[in-house]
């Protein structure tokens, strides 16, 4: 699967056959369906561990299944959703942590990896814990407060997972491939939903669709096996169509911009050696493929993709930006209300914002728990100090991932590009829709933090992962 240069020596762990994976898939479907039908959210959590113990599943497979379920079962209307607590993805994270402890030779020896990036992360988490004391004492066991605490504290595991065997080069790329494959299946569902209903697809996992397009383009430079390359190309097509039906403009803009940055990464050190015939051939092939997709959408689904994009981008209502009942206007109104209540230290995790929710039919005042712009949500909950600390962490993440892209090892270099591009995508989209600390994306960003720290260390020590 990987060409020479990739570290393929793996720790001695139990393997899992294709039949075992198929049985797991069927088992997950049954458990999720039963817990949804009977409204027993705890059912999925309690019954999940049995097959992993019986099949002697290795840790990297448990982590992969965590993302399969996180992507498949996140939507809030599902009883098995990770929007609630102690469900399928949570259970798999618990299993991953528990089995990791069991495999340790010495439970009391902890290998912690540190750097400026990690210390800035822990500085923010320390501030977060201090900021949580007052809300906990005032609100007690509050659902949205506990959600904020869970989502943030997940990042706290970063320093302890750096040298975990599940993040070797080969297993890391396999995990990224699993994320792409799971998202592609989700996109097939989105396309089906749109064809049947003709309504815009609204999903909190829309960010994974954008990530999958970028990851597929990145993985084409890593995987050499033709069957995998074909699947990655199919993934790009399916997720691009799905992204079209999702209709989130910030995602469209971000994917185009990040693709341009990815192109610059690919050719930055080879500008004088570029094979222009090959570049033109790739552009031509991309154009032909895009044309075929546009024609097929028009012929079989009666969708004019170009007109669709044009209307979404350029058909604005009059005064839309200052109209609080419009999509853009409501985001501007939210941000203004946050700015009115700005403080140095913030209002703490779980803090609500007292606003008129113009996106709801009653147009009444609500104490709303979520703000579209990630940056204004961070400002509201953690103030200017918290926003500064968190920004320092992400800037250091960008810097470290960029340093990794200078590696002479192609596989380590692409880990750096992956971290840089995916974070850039989330940073851009989070201007209007928060996808940095949300519970559906925090496990993925945790993985990227671990990869960035691990292979940043490899660059510094001139070793392989």
Domain hosting residue 43, numbered range: 15-109
pLDDT confidence of 2, banded at 50, 70, 90?
Answer: very low
- Kindly give the pairing relationship between strand 365-368 and strand 353-356: antiparallel
Residue 368 forms beta bridges with which residues? 353
How confident is residue 293, by pLDDT bands cut at 50, 70 and 90? Answer: confident
Q: Would you state the pLDDT for residue 419?
A: 96
Is 26 a domain residue? yes
Within a domain: residue 289? no
pLDDT-derived band at 4 (thresholds 50, 70, 90) equals very low
**Residue that is written with structure tokens 């260390």 in the block:** 457
- pLDDT, tens only, 238-257: 999 999 888 888 899 999 99
Within 10 A of 39 (CB to CB), how many other CB atoms are there? 8
Domain annotation covers residue 137: no
Establish if 68 belongs to a structural domain. yes
What's the angle, vertex CA 180, arms to CA 177 and CA 181, rounded to 5? 85
Do residues 380 and 346 lie in contact, with contact meaning Cβ atoms separated by under 8 Å?
yes
Cβ pair 379, 390 in contact under 8 A: no
Contact 146, 85 (CB under 8 A): yes
Q: What pLDDT does 463 receive?
A: 52
Helix residue spans in 55-168 (DSSP H):
59-72, 88-102, 116-139, 143-153, 158-161
Task: Please give the mean pLDDT across all residues of the chain.
Answer: 80
Which has the closest alpha carbon to 419: 455, 394, 452, 453?
Answer: 452
Distance CA 183, CA 220 (A): 17
Answer whether residue 66 is part of any domain: yes
Domain for residue 249, yes or no? no
Q: Is residue 95, in this structure, part of any structural domain at all? A: yes
Query: Span 20-49, mean pLDDT?
Result: 71
Q: Give tens-digit pLDDT for 185-218.
A: 999 999 988 888 878 888 888 999 999 999 999 9
Give pLDDT, residue 14.
41
Whether residue 48 lies inside any domain: the answer is: yes
pLDDT above 90 for 53: no
Each residue of 299-354: pLDDT tens digit? 667 777 777 777 776 666 666 666 666 777 788 888 888 899 899 999 889 888 87
| Residue 291 confidence (pLDDT) | 75
Distance CA 76, CA 204 (A): 9
Give the chain's domain count. Answer: 1
Comparing 53 with 253, the larger pLDDT belongs to 253
The pLDDT of 108-118, averaged and rounded, is 75
pLDDT value of residue 427: 95
Return the C-alpha torsion angle 251, 252, 258, 263, nearest 10. 160
Residue pair 443/66 in contact (Cβ under 8 Å)? The answer is yes
Q: What percent of the chain has pLDDT over 70?
A: 77
Question: pLDDT band at 465, cuts 50/70/90?
Answer: low
């Amino acid at each position: 699967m990987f060409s020479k240069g990739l570290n393929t020596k793996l720790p001695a762990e139990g393997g899992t056959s294709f039949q075992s994976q198929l049985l797991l898939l069927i088992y997950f479907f049954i458990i999720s369906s039963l817990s949804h039908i009977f409204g027993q959210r705890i059912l999925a959590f309690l019954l999940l561990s049995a097959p992993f113990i019986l099949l002697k599943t290795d840790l990297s497979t448990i982590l992969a299944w965590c993302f399969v379920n996180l992507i498949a079962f996140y939507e809030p209307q599902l009883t098995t959703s990770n929007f609630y607590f102690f469900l399928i993805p949570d259970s798999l994270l618990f299993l991953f942590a528990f089995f990791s402890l069991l495999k340790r030779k010495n439970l009391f020896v902890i290998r912690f990896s540190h750097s400026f990036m990690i210390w800035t992360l822990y500085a923010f988490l320390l501030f977060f814990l201090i900021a949580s004391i007052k809300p906990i004492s005032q609100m007690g066991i509050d659902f949205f407060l506990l959600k904020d605490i869970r989502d943030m504290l997940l990042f706290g595991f970063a320093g302890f997972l750096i040298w975990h065997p599940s993040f070797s080069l080969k297993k890391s790329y396999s995990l990224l491939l699993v994320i792409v494959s799971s998202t592609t299946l989700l996109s097939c569902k989105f396309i089906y939903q749109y064809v049947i209903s003709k309504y815009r697809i609204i999903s909190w996992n829309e960010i994974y669709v954008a990530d999958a397009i970028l990851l597929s383009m990145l993985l084409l430079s890593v995987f050499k096996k033709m069957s995998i390359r074909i699947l990655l190309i199919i993934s790009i097509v399916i997720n691009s169509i799905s992204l079209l039906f999702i209709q989130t403009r910030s995602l469209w803009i971000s994917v185009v911009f990040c693709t341009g940055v990815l192109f610059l990464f690919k050719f930055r050190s080879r500008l004088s050696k570029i094979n222009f015939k090959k570049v033109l051939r790739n552009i031509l092939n991309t154009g032909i493929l895009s044309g075929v997709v546009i024609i097929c959408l028009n012929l079989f689904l009666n969708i004019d993709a170009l007109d669709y994009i044009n209307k979404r981008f350029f058909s604005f209502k009059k005064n839309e930006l200052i109209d609080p009942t419009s999509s853009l206007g409501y985001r501007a109104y939210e941000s203004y209300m946050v700015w009115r209540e700005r403080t140095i230290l913030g209002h703490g995790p779980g803090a609500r914002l007292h606003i008129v929710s113009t996106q709801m039919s009653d147009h009444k005042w609500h104490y709303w728990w979520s703000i579209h712009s990630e940056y204004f949500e961070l400002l509201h909950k953690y103030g200017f100090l918290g926003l500064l600390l968190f920004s320092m962490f992400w800037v250091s993440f960008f810097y470290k991932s960029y340093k990794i892209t200078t590696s002479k090892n192609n596989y380590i270099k692409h880990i750096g590009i992956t971290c840089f591009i995916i974070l850039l995508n989330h940073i851009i989209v989070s201007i209007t829709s928060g996808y940095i600390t949300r519970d559906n994306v925090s496990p993925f960003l945790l993985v990227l933090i671990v990869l960035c720290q691990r292979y940043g260390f490899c660059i510094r020590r001139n070793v392989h992962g």
